[in-house]
């Protein structure tokens, strides 16, 4: 390799501008020296604390300790009378279960009966290669002190404050609720987040059948109404696709950040990683193209990245259809040609400020990779006025490129992870206002926090006689209800899941309920039984447990699937392994029976974009905000900005200069007369006419850790629109220092050479080595060889200093902080 390395790598703006203080920091061991924290000290004691100061602190500590002393109450430790067989002190136990946060089967490590670690289930060979950060951190949600610890009367039954909640026992709560429902009239509505799994679905149906009129509504903070509607009109199916990224050689992302907010995040991330392998005998490099309004996680990985506003993604998709259509079997589809004909590659490139030839090149590469490509546009940032049109165009592209059945699956193993509808919630609000709802149960969803018109939702609740929350804490929605019947954590529960159709995973408890809580399913079973249902009773009239109900469902499933093994043997295997995959065609290529319907383009008119717009996005670390009392997630820096403990308004440097705004300045963001204030982060790679703000922050009733952190971006959204929102930004004159870990560890990576093997500087050697894929294939060991040569050259002909020295003159002085010393 002899090509020149002309790139200059930088990690912060200060380093990019080569500020003097940054160059100095590169040579320092600490970003902030211990002396600056402990104070200046004399030359005779450079440990960071003088003897005099040490004695002062020690004396004060001794006095405080004596004053604070009091007799500790006696606490007796009682050992096991009969130790559980499966528990051996010092040895960990492992249990297979599922993670709703990660949408995946998992294995939980326990010690002495306490869960301490969540990891992926290695038996899930067709699933994720790992877990998401949120799934891993969910172990701490189990021990969250903000979880409710007993059933209580709240809202209209008590003052609207957590401290005023009235404790109530389970039997009384069940009886009061059943009696209230009997006299309420109207529908009984169960409002939940996405629920999947055979036992859950059957249990919900059995519960609702108890009442003359019952209905189940699913709503998620990040619903996919436009995508579902586009799929329905494109293929006449109401399904969410699964993607086989591992089989794709060319991927085009139109505003969708598959590494941050996809429905099957862990598996998708792992599959993309498989397409970019570096091994001496197996080198594979997929090609990734990303059109996006701001720097995203997939954008940082992309080979080609282009800045496009959210609402203009549909124009790019239409132009790609226009370019690709003539070379496919759909060339004579007049309805498609009429819809996209005006969006030529050149006109779209000119209107969006793209380099000439970009769209044509992408189209040619897609054609060259038919059945081995993916066009992807899912995600919160694509919920714009043109969202449905974008998804229709993407469906058309994947169809005409023969990706259906190859890399995009709408038929065999479709996604089951996000079935909620924000439109269904709007319809429910209307029904409550019209007096049609007599009782409302809520579980796993928090409309008072994420619904764009939370006030309308809360006002509508006043027209419902019976309000029961089955959530785990007294959060924003629960405080408006009559009862809170706190549900257990998933690690305390029995159940099952079907995150992807045809792939089942079991849910089993890894610890007994920590508080006086019960599972969501058991609460429904108990209330229905109080209301006269026999669906949850055994032959002797007693209510069965969730464990027994689960076994009964799987006994029927055992017969349905024609499994040869006896049920007990099958059941033990299912609980031990945690998974059952009955989809034989899962992620394998099949002949798709779907045909794209050109009429899906009918009536679609693309809205024009003018001025500055707001894009609300989903963070991979925070998600919908349901885990915001988890300090580990709040402390986790965002992968792009490296900022933690806050959300912020991101804008480009040019926009900041134009508005007179700098990093950490607080601004007011106004959308349709709704306002929030937040600090600013100037983000490289941001479109000049787009500002971005993460959702999931600004909680007010999640717990002591998360309350008040950041601002609630959901309040700026509108029905089915999170991005492409017309926005005004104005500085407030205040500042708020963002917590940013970027730049706290500069590497001394100064490189002073023009060619890879020549002119190596005597004082520095490079940290980053660079080669093209073809150069790497030609000689994969060359980079390692150069690194060795550079190091050898650095010390060649020099006599290395003895660290300890042989005399006073060259003795190695090591003042200040001493690593490893006590």
CATH for 357: 3.40.228.10
Is position 292 within any domain? Answer: yes
Q: Tell me: pLDDT of 476 over 70.
A: yes
Read off the pTM. 0.85
Predicted confidence at residue 728, as pLDDT, reads 93
Q: Is residue 770 over pLDDT 80?
A: no
At residue 679, the pLDDT reads 95
Residue 403 is assigned to a structural domain of this protein = yes
Q: Are 577 and 652 in contact (CB under 8 A)?
A: no
Residue 799 has what pLDDT?
A: 46
Mean pLDDT across 276-292: 82
Residue 153 lies in a domain: no
CB contact at 8 A, 707 and 699:
yes
Indicate if the pLDDT at residue 662 is higher than 80: yes
Query: Mean pLDDT, to the nearest integer, of 453-465?
Result: 93
Give the total residue count for the chain: 822
- Tokens 């499933």 belong to residue: 557
Question: Is the per-residue pLDDT at 223 higher than 80?
Answer: yes
pLDDT, position 751: 43
Element (H or E) spanning 400, and its range? helix 387-400
Summarize the confidence of residues 717-742 as an average pLDDT.
90
Token pair listed for 59: 């004396």
Structure tokens given for 220: 């998620």
Across 350-359, 614-623, 764-773, least confident range: 764-773
Which residues have CB under 8 Å from 287's CB, separation 6+? 249, 250, 251, 303, 304, 365
**Reported confidence tier of residue 538, pLDDT bands at 50, 70, 90:** confident
Nearest to 370, CA basis, from 329, 317, 314: 329
Pairing, β 649-651 against β 579-581: unpaired
- Phi-psi region at 55: left, alpha or beta (left = phi > 0; alpha = psi -120 to 50): alpha
Spacing of C-alpha 270 from chain mean position: 15
Lowest mean pLDDT across 258-267, 559-568, 792-801: 792-801
Residue bearing the bigger pLDDT, 76 or 603: 603
pLDDT above 90: residue 368: yes
Q: Is the pLDDT of residue 581 over 60?
A: yes
Mean pLDDT of 597-620: 90
Q: Which of 83-87, 88-92, 793-797 has the highest mean pLDDT?
A: 88-92
Residue 439 within any structural domain of the chain: no
Examine the pLDDT at 544 and tell me if it is beyond 80: yes
> Which run of H or E residues covers position 300?
helix 297-301
Mean pLDDT of 257-267: 86
Q: According to the per-residue pLDDT averaged within each range, which of 9-23, 100-114, 399-413, 483-497 is highest?
A: 483-497
Q: Which residue has the higher pLDDT, 40 or 147?
A: 147
For residues 519 and 749, which has the higher predicted lDDT (pLDDT)?
A: 519
On whether residue 475 sits in a domain, the answer given is no
Share of the chain above pLDDT 70, in %: 81
**For residue 334, with 0-12 CB atoms within 10 Å meaning exposed, 13-18 middle and 19 or more buried, which class applies?**
exposed
pLDDT, average across residues 151-167: 78
Convert the pLDDT of each residue in 671-721 to its tens digit: 999 999 999 999 999 999 999 999 999 999 999 999 999 999 999 998 888
Strand pairing class (649-651; 152-153): unpaired
Q: What are phi and psi of 277, to 5 degrees?
A: -100, 145
Kindly write down the DSSP assignment for every residue of 450-505, as one continuous string.
HSTTHHHHHHHHTT-SEEEE-SSS--TTGGGSSEE-PPPPGGG--EEEEEETTEEE
Contact 135, 128 (CB under 8 A): no
291 assigned to some structural domain: yes
pLDDT at res. 215: 93
HSE-up of residue 200 (Cα within 13 Å, Cβ side): 22
Q: How many CB atoms lie within 10 A of CB 68?
A: 7
Q: What is the model's pLDDT at position 334?
A: 86
* pLDDT (mean) for 776-798: 58
Distance of alpha carbon 727 from alpha carbon 671, whole angstroms: 5
Query: How confident is the model at residue 800, as a pLDDT?
Result: 46
Per-residue pLDDT, 350: 92
Residue 583, pLDDT score = 75
If one counts every other C-beta atom within 10 angstroms of the C-beta of residue 238, the result is: 11
Whole-angstrom distance, CA of residue 346 vs CA of residue 360: 8
Within a domain: 627: yes
Rg of the chain over Cα atoms, rounded to whole angstroms, equals 30
Range of the domain at 251: 242-409
Q: Which of 712, 740, 768 is the last residue of a domain?
A: 740
Q: Which residue matches tokens 């040619």? A: 364
Q: What is the pLDDT of residue 775?
A: 75
pLDDT of res. 253: 94
Tell me the pLDDT of the chain averaged across its residues. 83
Map tokens 């995203």 to a residue.
296
- How crowded is residue 350: how many other Cβ atoms within 10 Å of its Cβ? 11
If one counts the domains in the chain, the total is 3
Which of 26-30, 221-225, 406-410, 630-634 has the lowest average pLDDT? Answer: 26-30
DSSP assigned state of 73: P
Q: What is the pLDDT of residue 43?
A: 46
pLDDT band with cut points at 50, 70 and 90 for residue 497: very high
pLDDT higher than threshold 70 for residue 753: no
In this predicted structure, the answer to whether residue 812 has a pLDDT above a threshold of 70 is: no
pLDDT of residue 635: 92
What CATH code is carried by the domain that includes residue 620?
Answer: 2.40.40.20
Specify the residue for token string 């969708």. Answer: 256
């Amino acid at each position: 390799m002899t090509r020149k390395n002309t790139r200059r790598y930088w990690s912060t703006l200060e380093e990019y501008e080569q500020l003097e203080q940054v160059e100095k920091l590169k040579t320092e061991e600490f970003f902030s020296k211990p002396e600056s924290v402990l104070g200046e000290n004399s030359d005779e004691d450079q440990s960071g604390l003088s003897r005099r100061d040490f004695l002062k602190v020690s004396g004060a500590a001794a006095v405080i300790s004596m004053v604070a002393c009091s007799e500790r109450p006696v606490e007796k430790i009682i050992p096991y009378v009969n130790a559980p067989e499966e528990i051996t002190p010092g040895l960990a136990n492992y249990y297979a279960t599922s993670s709703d946060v990660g949408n995946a089967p998992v294995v939980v490590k326990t010690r002495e009966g306490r869960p301490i670690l969540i990891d992926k289930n290695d038996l899930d060979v067709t699933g994720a290669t790992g877990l998401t950060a949120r799934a891993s951190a969910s172990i701490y949600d189990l021990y969250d002190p903000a979880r409710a610890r007993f059933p209580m009367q709240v809202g209209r039954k008590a003052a609207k404050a957590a401290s005023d909640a009235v404790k109530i026992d389970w039997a009384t709560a069940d009886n009061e609720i059943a009696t209230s429902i009997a006299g309420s009239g109207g529908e009984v509505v169960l409002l939940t987040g996405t629920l999947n799994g055979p036992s859950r679905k059957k249990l919900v149906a059995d519960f609702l059948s108890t009442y003359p009129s019952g209905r189940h509504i699913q709503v998620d903070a990040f619903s996919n109404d436009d995508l579902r509607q586009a799929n329905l009109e494109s293929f006449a199916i109401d399904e969410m696709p699964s993607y086989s990224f591992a089989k794709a050689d060319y991927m085009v992302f139109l505003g969708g950040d598959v590494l941050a907010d996809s429905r099957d995040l862990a598996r998708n991330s792992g599959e993309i990683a498989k397409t970019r392998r570096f091994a001496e005998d197996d080198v594979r490099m997929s090609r990734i193209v990303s059109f996006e309004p701001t720097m995203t996680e997939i954008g940082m990985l992309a080979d080609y990245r282009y800045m496009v506003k959210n609402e203009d993604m549909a124009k790019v998709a239409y132009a790609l259809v226009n370019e690709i259509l003539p070379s496919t079997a759909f060339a004579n589809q007049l309805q498609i040609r009429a819809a996209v004909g005006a969006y030529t590659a050149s006109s779209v490139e000119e209107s969006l400020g793209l380099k000439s030839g970009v769209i044509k090149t992408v189209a040619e590469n897609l054609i060259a990779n038919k059945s081995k490509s993916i066009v992807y546009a899912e995600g919160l940032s694509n919920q714009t006025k043109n969202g449905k049109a974008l998804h229709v165009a993407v469906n058309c592209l994947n169809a005409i490129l023969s990706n259906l059945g190859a890399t995009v699956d709408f038929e065999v193993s479709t996604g089951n992870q996000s079935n909620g509808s924000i439109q269904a919630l709007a319809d429910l609000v209307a029904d409550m206002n019209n007096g049609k709802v007599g009782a409302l149960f809520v579980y796993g969803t928090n409309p008072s926090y994420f619904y764009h018109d939370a006030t309308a939702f809360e006002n509508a609740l006043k027209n419902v006689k019976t309000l029961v929350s089955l959530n785990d804490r007294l959060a924003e929605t629960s405080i408006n209800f009559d009862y809170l019947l706190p549900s257990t954590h998933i690690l305390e529960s029995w159940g099952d899941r079907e995150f992807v159709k045809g792939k089942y995973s079991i849910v089993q408890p890894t610890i007994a309920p920590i508080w006086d809580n019960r599972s969501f399913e058991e609460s429904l079973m108990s209330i229905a039984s109080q209301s006269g249902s026999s669906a949850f009773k055994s032959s002797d009239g007693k209510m069965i447990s969730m464990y027994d109900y689960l076994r009964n469902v799987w006994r029927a499933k055992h017969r349905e699937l024609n499994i040869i093994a006896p049920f007990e043997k099958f059941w033990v295997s299912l609980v031990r392994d945690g998974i059952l995959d009955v989809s034989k065609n899962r992620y394998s290529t099949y002949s798709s029976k779907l045909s794209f319907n050109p009429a899906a383009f009918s009536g679609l008119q693309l809205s024009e974009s003018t001025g500055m717009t707001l894009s609300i996005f989903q963070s991979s670390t925070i998600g919908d905000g349901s885990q915001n009392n988890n300090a580990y997630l709040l402390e986790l820096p965002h992968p792009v900005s490296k900022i933690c403990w806050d959300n912020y308004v991101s804008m480009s440097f040019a926009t900041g200069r134009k508005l007179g705004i700098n990093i950490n300045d607080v601004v007011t963001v106004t959308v349709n007369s709704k306002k929030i204030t937040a600090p600013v982060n100037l983000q490289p790679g941001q479109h000049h006419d787009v500002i971005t703000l993460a959702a999931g922050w600004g909680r007010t009733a999640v717990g002591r850790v998360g309350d008040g952190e950041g601002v609630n971006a959901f309040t700026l959204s509108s029905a089915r629109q999170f991005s492409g929102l017309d926005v005004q930004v104005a500085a407030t004159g205040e500042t708020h220092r963002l917590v940013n870990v970027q730049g706290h560890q500069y590497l001394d990576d100064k490189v002073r050479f023009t060619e890879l093997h020549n002119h190596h500087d005597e004082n520095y050697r490079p940290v980053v080595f660079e080669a093209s894929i073809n150069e790497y294939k030609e000689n994969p060991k060359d980079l390692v060889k150069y690194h060795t040569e550079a190091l050898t050259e650095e010390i060649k002909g020099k006599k290395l200093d003895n660290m300890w020295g042989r005399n006073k003159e060259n003795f190695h002085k090591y003042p200040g902080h001493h690593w490893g010393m006590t």
